[in-house]
Amino acid sequence: MKLQKGTTLALYSMLEFAANPGKQLSAAEIAEKYGASAHHLAKVLRELGRAGLVESARGVGGGYRFSGNATRLTLMDVIELFEDISTRTGESDEFDGSSDVGRALGAVMSEIDEIAKATFRSITVDTMLKLIQRQRREASAAQAPARGK
């Protein structure tokens, strides 16, 4: 399952905002960090704002800050603001179901899609932040012996 560019920018942005609750971040800051177009990101942030997941911050520099509930908001909730993957099936999207071969290949793709959707539905923003922290700790621990050499 491949997500659209706007969707991945939305996921990056939500995790940036949720990791810094209360702090206002501008579209330009996030765009620079993830090598994205500031114009594209601004559109994504407006959509997240309309959904109530971020709120625009007035004052010097402007920007947005997190206004969602990190322990309830799932990756799927964010994804579905930008594309409808919940009804996507391998049969209809990838292969022509009018042949036996296409139907069989579609069934395999459908298996993969169902697992991907269940994964997106089961992971909250809060869980993602913990995963990011854990990976940082593991990376630091892996580097520590190397630094000690």
Least distance to another protein, CB of residue 123, Å: 5
As to burial, measured by CB atoms within 10 angstroms (0-12 exposed, 13-18 middle, 19+ buried), residue 149 is exposed
The one among 69, 89, 97, 107 contacting another protein by CB under 8 A: 69
**Number of chain positions touching another protein (CB under 8 A):** 19
- The helix/strand/coil state of 56 is strand
Least distance to another protein, CB of residue 34, Å: 24
d(CA 63, CA 40): 15
Residue at 18: amino acid letter: A
In the window 87-116, what residues touch another protein (CB under 8 A)? 114-115
Beta strands, E only, 4-148: 54-56, 64-66
Q: Which two tokens stand for residue 142?
A: 């892996």
Residue 16 binds another protein (CB under 8 A)? no
What binding mask, one character per residue, do residues 41-60 give for another protein by CB under 8 A, x or -? --------------------
Chain residues binding another protein by CB under 8 A are 69, 71-74, 77, 114-115, 118-119, 121-124, 126-127, 130-131, 134
